[in-house]
Amino acid sequence: MQIGLVLYSDSASVEFYLEDYDSLEDVIDHIRGIVHILGNTNTADGLETMHDDVFRTDRGDRSGVPNVAVLLTDGQANIRSGDTEDEADNAKKDGISIVVIGVTADVDMDELRGIASDDDLVELIDDFDALEGAVDDIIDIICDTIVLPPGEYFASLCLSFIYCKVVSVWRLQLRSTVFLVIYSLKFVDLS
């Protein structure tokens, strides 16, 4: 499994690419060191950056392996809001499945459904304290999006362990500050 991370607020920036880390510990260490960003919600820029800069072969993307992006947000797009669904559609046309996790009642469910690859890939969570408790539901949603070639299988137990650890780190970061993330996952054959 490869993980890339894009943060967005007024604009988006890549924290790390799919090829940057080989271990979960390194990913968690990086996430712990991320500086909190404040500002607006430019979801379109986050999606565009994820699509154009992260899911690239020269940045670790592998052909023939499912690409899944998990977008975590606690607000509504208020910069380039008219471009948000178009940027999501561009990514989906290139085979990136998008799962959306909305946290708090401040999200726009219509917007989240427009971003997600399917209405079933949207999860609403009451607040950041409840995020860790929703891990199993989120993992089920992510795993349901993965379609592997015949003869391959996906070790969801491994994903559960990794995702629990990453969400635990996020929860610590999110408790005090708005922290908007696109969490891009690249699944590989773990058999």
Please check whether residue 34 lies inside any domain of the structure. Answer: yes
> Residues 28, 165: contact at Cβ < 8 Å?
yes
Please check whether residue 166 lies inside any domain of the structure. Answer: yes
Q: Which residues of 115-144 are buried (b: 16+ CB within 10 A; e: fewer)?
A: bbbeeebbbebeebeebeebbeebbebbee
Q: What is the per-residue pLDDT across 33-57, written as a single tens digit (0 to 9) for each? A: 877 777 888 999 999 999 999 888 8
Q: What is the pLDDT of residue 24?
A: 73
Q: What is the per-residue pLDDT across 16-39, written as a single tens digit (0 to 9) for each? A: 888 888 877 788 788 778 777 778
Please check whether residue 20 lies inside any domain of the structure. Answer: yes
Please check whether residue 191 lies inside any domain of the structure. Answer: no
Domain count, the chain: 1
> Is 60 exceeded by the pLDDT of residue 118?
yes
Identify the domain containing residue 126 by its residue range.
2-186
Cβ-based burial of 165 (10 A; exposed 0-12, middle 13-18, buried ≥19): middle
Q: Lay out the sheet containing 96-103: strands in order across.
A: 12-16, 2-8, 181-186, 67-73, 96-103, 122-125
Please check whether residue 134 lies inside any domain of the structure. Answer: yes
Q: What is the pLDDT of residue 116?
A: 94
Mean confidence (pLDDT) of the chain: 75
Q: What is the per-residue pLDDT across 75-97, written as a single tens digit (0 to 9) for each? A: 899 999 999 999 999 999 998 88
Q: What is the CATH number of the domain that holds 8?
A: 3.40.50.410
* Torsion of Cα atoms, 51 then 52 then 56 then 60, to 10°: -70
Please check whether residue 93 lies inside any domain of the structure. Answer: yes
Q: Which two tokens stand for residue 184?
A: 């891009």
Please check whether residue 145 lies inside any domain of the structure. Answer: yes
